[in-house]
């Protein structure tokens, strides 16, 4: 099949303490070189500080984000993108409004937290 349209489906929805992740393209959906997902985060929420062993690109579609990577913080709005390099400590926060972004990385990424043991897969990137 040359054209593979992937839609969000309720059975693949992943809820975290800070938002909702909608997996889109990935190996389980026919994309072997890229994984993409849409994330919606609540106003004033933040991800835990963590590291991922893959580069990621975050592209806001609504709301605002603050992204801290390796101790440096930047604001991010719709129409912008941020490249977060692999293996650097990162945290993503929303501002006073909700935040919605499209995220992209190569498949197979694993996350870790400072002081934690081992790594965990990112189920929305599979």
pLDDT tens by residue, 44-69: 999 999 999 999 999 999 999 999 99
User: Does residue 71 lie in a domain region?
Assistant: yes
Residue at 64 is within a domain: yes
* Domain count of the fold of the chain: 1
d(CA 97, CA 91): 17
Query: What is the arithmetic mean of pLDDT over 12-25?
Result: 92
Is residue 81 a part of any domain in this protein? yes
Is there a domain that residue 122 lies in? no
Does some domain include residue 52? yes
We report the CATH number of the domain holding residue 87 as 2.60.120.10
Say how many C-beta atoms besides its own lie within 10 A of residue 58's C-beta.
Answer: 21
Residue 94 lies in a domain: yes
Asked whether residue 8 is domain-assigned, the answer is no
pTM assigned to the model: 0.93
Reply yes or no on whether the pLDDT at 18 is more than 90: no
Q: CA–CA separation, 32 vs 126, rounded Å?
A: 9
Q: Which two tokens stand for residue 117?
A: 């043991």
- Within-domain flag for 58: yes
Residue 75 belongs to what domain range? Answer: 43-105
pLDDT digits (tens, 9 = 90+) for 107-125: 989 999 999 899 999 988 8
State the number of CA atoms in the 13 A half-sphere of 97 facing the CB.
12
| pLDDT number for residue 2 | 83
């Amino acid at each position: 099949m040359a054209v593979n349209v992937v839609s969000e489906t309720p059975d693949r929805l992943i809820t975290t303490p800070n938002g909702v992740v909608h997996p889109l393209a990935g190996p389980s959906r026919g994309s072997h070189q890229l994984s993409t997902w849409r994330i919606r985060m609540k106003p004033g929420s933040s991800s835990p500080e963590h590291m991922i062993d893959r580069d990621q690109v975050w592209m806001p579609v609504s709301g605002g984000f603050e992204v801290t990577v390796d101790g440096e913080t930047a604001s991010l709005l719709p129409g912008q993108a941020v490249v977060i390099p692999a293996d650097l400590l990162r945290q993503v926060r929303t501002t006073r409004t909700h935040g919605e972004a499209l995220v992209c990385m190569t498949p197979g990424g694993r996350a870790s937290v400072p002081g934690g043991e081992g790594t965990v897969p990112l189920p929305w990137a599979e």
